[in-house]
Amino acid sequence: MADTPQSYHQLPLLPYRFRYVGFLLILLSFGAAYLYFWGGRPDFFEIPVFAIVTSYAETRWMIVAQTNALDEIAVVFGILGLLFIGFSREKQEIAGYNPVRVKALFYSVYIAAGLWILIYLTIFGWPIIIISAMIFILFLLTYIITFRFLLFKKDIEVSSINQLKTKETKET
């Protein structure tokens, strides 16, 4: 990407249709999580995987381990789904959405970091590892919600301004 003034106004967003793929991935993620926690962990998902480190009965490094892949599928599909939803274009994308996206991104970083610090100072022991792993998912959810809220707020402001202009035009 060239360093021209115009290139700074374009964000590398995914096509709009990726949003649908994102929702499908989230549904599949919920299905995989359900099977993992309440569905008896079907043997079909027991597969050998390369592990840098595994620590169940004993800690082992750089091995091929047998594992049930449902929890990994649930997390990976969930993260990809949220990424696809959060970073795909709107159906009617306009340049005015880019500042809203950047603002939502900054708010999401602040909120996720603040929550992580609060959680880190109030939860001790091994649960902090699990919660720390969930922070990225929290960040993506915060970004999507903040972006939607800011877009909704912007649409209300734009429609209010348009109504005022229409009212002023009719009065003159």
> DSSP string covering 96-111, please?
THHHHHHHHHHHHHHH
Do both 9 and 42 map to the same domain?
Answer: yes
Provide the domain count of the chain: 2
pTM equals: 0.82
Place of tokens 């919600």: 145
Structural domain harbouring 138: 94-172
Out of 57, 92, 127, pick the residue that ends a domain: 92
Share of the chain above pLDDT 90, in %: 58
Strand partners, 68: 46
Q: State whether 85 and 8 are in the same domain.
A: yes
Same structural domain, 159 and 85:
no
Indicate if 80 and 107 belong to the same structural domain.
no
Question: What's the angle, vertex CA 166, arms to CA 162 and CA 171, rounded to 5?
Answer: 150
The predicted structure's pLDDT at residue 46: 93
Mean pLDDT along residues 99-125:
94
Residues 158 and 137 in one domain: yes
